[in-house]
Amino acid sequence: MHWSSWQAFWDMGGYALFVWGSFGVTFLLIALEVWQARASWREEFANLTDAIHIDNSLQETLVQPRSAATLTPVVAAKTRTEQDVQTP
């Protein structure tokens, strides 16, 4: 151990601002990057989950037009239009 006391350690021979400033900013930025990466994983994962749900329910509607009434009006309306077009 190089230091005689914690006081001396924190003081860094009078260079506390420079030494701790460097280490502080380094690890602050690393922490921010880790946080940002995790946040963007959660966001993209949620986006894709939503997209899959929407696509699945759309597909159900197109395959079984009769259940359209139970779906949201937008999807139901879309299905009806497609039916109308197909019916001669």
Query: Which of 40/67 has CB closer to other proteins?
Result: 40
CB of 51 to other proteins, least distance (A): 6
CB of 60 to other proteins, least distance (A): 15
Confirm or reject binding of residue 19 to other proteins (CB under 8 A).
yes
Confirm or reject binding of residue 54 to other proteins (CB under 8 A).
no
Query: Which of 28/69 has CB closer to other proteins?
Result: 28
CB of 63 to other proteins, least distance (A): 17
Query: What is the three-state SS of the chain?
Result: CCCCCHHHHHHHHHCHHHHHHHHHHHHHHHHHHHHHHHHHHHHHHHHHHHHHHHHHHHHHHHHCHHHHHHCCHHHHHHHHHHHHHHCC
